[in-house]
Amino acid sequence: MMEAAAQEKIISVINEKFEGEILEAGMIKDFFNINLKSEKIVDIIRHLYNHPDTKFQFLTTLCGIHYPDQKQIAVMYQLHNMVTNQRLRLKIFLPEENPSVKTLTTVFAGANWMERETYDFFGVNFEGHPNLKRILNVEDMIIFPLRKEYPLEDQTREDKNDLMFGR
């Protein structure tokens, strides 16, 4: 659990250089979460990486989240300060149609595969990525399977009779 003083410090570090970029901030379970505007996300993360009071120098997670009711795809970044053992979750929201954001590989080389996976499953274009192509699905696939706009089951299957499953 991150203390309130540490939360305020992170917010002030962001605001000292990126005033007005924070949309919302607060604790959700054990994570301090900050929702940000998407345009300067890489610069904000670089600032949190280099600033002597934050030093979030480990990227633990980068993934997509589809919000079909809001017609948005979020990109979520989880950062870790290994010295103070503080964890931080940053989230940006992109339009469902043609979601695009700058690559984080300029700050974290390890973001490469995470961004490729997010592209592969959610269709997020990471501008400037050195090798943005599908990583787990076949290259000629035309859909992004983790978006919630696709049915969970293959609707063309004939071997499943819904009456046998109580539907």
Complete domains list, the chain, with CATH: 4-151 (3.30.460.80)
Instruction: Count Cβ atoms within 10 A of the Cβ of residue 31 and give its class: 0-12 exposed, 13-18 middle, 19 or more buried.
Output: middle
pTM: 0.88
Strands (E), 96-159: 100-102, 125-127
pLDDT at residue 162, rounded to an integer:
64
- Read off the pLDDT of residues 103-158 as tens digits, 9 standing for 90 and up: 999 999 999 999 999 999 999 999 999 999 999 999 999 889 999 886 666 667 66
> What whole-number distance in Å separates Cα of residue 88 and Cα of residue 33?
6
Strands (E), 1-147: 22-28, 31-36, 58-67, 72-81, 86-95, 100-102, 125-127
Question: From the DSSP assignment, how many helices (H) and strands (E) are in the chain?
Answer: 3, 7
